[in-house]
Structure 1
Amino acid sequence: MRAEAEGEGELGMLMVGNVGVNRVLANCLDFRNIRNLEEMVFQRPGGFEATLKGYFYQAARSQDVRLAERVIKGERFHPASNALWFFRPTGDCPGSWYNQVNSGRFKSHCFFIPSAQDCPQVY
């Protein structure tokens, strides 16, 4: 979460955590048979881009662990509550991304949700 969104503050990191947890719960679309956080983070293609950079491999700080525990326990934060994707555009968030609806923006990241019909497990 830190490597993907440290510049977005704690709330931004929590939202990235929501996306990760949702991907494990979803078992739909790009995330079929992803059953744990490690599989989700390192999924190729589709996992977290930060794993390709050295910053990702720094030891987690105690505050990073506390944030991760919060999202694993079920805390959700809009617009990432039901999101399976996020990215950082150079401008405005598009209304959709790869046919997924934009659920909103937090600072630099845009979040995108599947339909409840396609992925009921994230709702």
Structure 2
Amino acid sequence: MAYSDRELLARVIKCEAGGEGDTGMKAVATSIMNRVRIPYGEYHRIGQGDVRKVLYQEGQYDCMRGVIGGAPNPQTIWSNPPDQIHYDIADWALAGNRLYPIGYSLWYFNPYAPCPYNFPYNGTGSFQITILNHCFYNPTELYAQT
């Protein structure tokens, strides 16, 4: 049986930011929903406003991959069922709420070092903010051409 959008988003929130408290999880959920709602560029073209298409886009979220670098990935959405807080944050994000310091960030990652100014490294994103362990990046004008 396929997961509902709510279930899928709750699982990704837990897997991607489950240890970063409400703020960290809302930041990740905001970034994901920014990809769903952006009216131009790669994520608009591929996702078409569909959270499932955004989450299942190949190579975007490690938690959606069973294998990384040829080895089994122990941290996936299938091995980490969500708790009530993850459903609550998924509901919050699906209802159109956003964590405003995130801006229109489409990307986030944990660099385990200071945040680089540009990410992805092709220049389509510029640094917006650090929230706990994740760096968040807004699209640049170059992103519109993707």
Normalised by the length of structure 1, the TM-score is 0.83
* Counterpart secondary structure, 1:94: coil
Residue segments in structure 2 that go unaligned for 5+ positions in a row: 1-12, 66-72
Percent identity over the alignment is 24
Cα distance in structure 2, aligned partners of 1:115 and 1:81? 12
Cα distance in structure 2, aligned partners of 1:103 and 1:94? 11
- 1:45-56 to structure 2, matched below 5 A, reads 45=59, 47-52=60-65, 53=73, 54-56=75-77
Alpha-carbon shift at residue 43 of structure 1 (Å): 0.5
Q: Aligned pair 1:71/2:93, yes or no?
A: yes
Match of 1:60 in 2: 82
Match of 2:70 in 1: none
Match of 1:33 in 2: 46
Q: Aligned pair 1:103/2:128, yes or no?
A: yes
Alpha-carbon RMSD: 2.0
Match of 2:22 in 1: 10
Alpha-carbon shift at residue 14 of structure 1 (Å): 0.7
What amino acid sits opposite 2:132 in the alignment? K
Residue segments in structure 1 that go unaligned for 5+ positions in a row: none
Whose Rg is larger? 2
Provide closer, same or farther for how the CA distance between residues 75 and 4 of structure 1 changes in structure 2, counting only shifts above 3 A: same
Provide closer, same or farther for how the CA distance between residues 79 and 94 of structure 1 changes in structure 2, counting only shifts above 3 A: farther
Alpha-carbon shift at residue 55 of structure 1 (Å): 3.7
What amino acid sits opposite 1:91 in the alignment? A
Alpha-carbon shift at residue 8 of structure 1 (Å): 1.2
* Counterpart secondary structure, 1:71: helix
> Which of these residues, 23, 44, 62, is aligned with residue 35 of structure 2?
23
What amino acid sits opposite 1:104 in the alignment? I
Alpha-carbon shift at residue 118 of structure 1 (Å): 5.2
* Counterpart secondary structure, 2:46: coil
Cα distance in structure 2, aligned partners of 1:103 and 1:79? 8
What amino acid sits opposite 1:60 in the alignment? P
- 1:27–1:33: 8 Å Cα contact kept in structure 2? no
Q: More deviation in 69-78 or 48-57?
A: 48-57
Provide closer, same or farther for how the CA distance between residues 62 and 26 of structure 1 changes in structure 2, counting only shifts above 3 A: same
Normalised by the length of structure 2, the TM-score is 0.71
Cα distance in structure 1, aligned partners of 2:27 and 2:86? 13
